[in-house]
C-alpha cells in the first residue's frame, strides 16, 4: 500500500462529494468556467437552497472555490487536479466524448 490512512480518508471524502447527481452536474457545468448560484440553479432544476447546500459540500471537500461580488457568489473548480479528474471521468465514462 502506497497511501497513508489519512490520505485515503481525504481522497474518499473528496470523491464522496463528487458522487452525487446534482453535484456532478454542477462540476460539469463549472468546467465551462466561473458561474454564480443563480446560473447554476437555472441550468438544472432543484431549489436554490438545495444547490447552495450542495455547493457547500463541494467547497468543504476542497473541490471548488468561491468569490463574492456584490450579492452574487461566483464558483469555480478549485485547481488543475480537479479539472483533470473531471476530464478523466468525462473521457472514460461518457459514451459521447
Distance separating alpha carbons of residues 97 and 95, to the nearest angstrom? 6
Q: From residue 9 to residue 48, what is the string marking binding to DNA with x (rule CB under 7 A)? A: -------x---x-x-------------xxx--x----xxx
Interface of this chain with a second copy, residues 24 to 43, rule: CB under 8 A: 24-25, 28-29, 43
44 binds a second copy (CB under 8 A): yes
Q: What are φ and ψ of residue 19, in 5° steps?
A: -80, 60
54 binds DNA (CB under 7 A): yes
Q: What are φ and ψ of residue 64, in 5° steps?
A: -135, 160
Q: What are φ and ψ of residue 91, in 5° steps?
A: -65, -40
By C-beta, is 67 or 84 nearer to a second copy?
Answer: 84
Count of helices and strands (H, E) across the chain: 5, 3
Residue 29 interacts, among a second copy, DNA, none and using kind-specific CB cut-offs from 5 to 8 Å, with: a second copy
Amino acid at each position: 500500500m502506497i497511501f497513508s490512512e489519512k490520505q485515503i480518508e481525504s481522497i474518499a471524502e473528496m470523491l464522496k462529494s463528487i458522487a452525487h447527481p446534482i453535484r456532478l452536474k454542477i462540476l460539469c457545468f463549472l468546467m465551462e468556467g466561473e458561474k454564480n448560484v443563480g446560473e447554476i440553479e437555472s441550468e438544472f432544476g432543484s431549489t436554490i437552497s438545495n444547490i447552495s447546500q450542495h455547493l457547500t459540500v463541494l467547497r468543504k471537500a476542497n473541490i471548488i472555490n468561491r468569490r463574492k461580488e456584490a450579492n452574487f457568489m461566483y464558483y469555480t473548480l478549485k485547481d488543475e487536479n480537479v479539472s483533470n479528474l473531471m476530464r478523466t471521468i468525462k473521457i472514460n465514462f461518457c459514451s459521447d466524448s
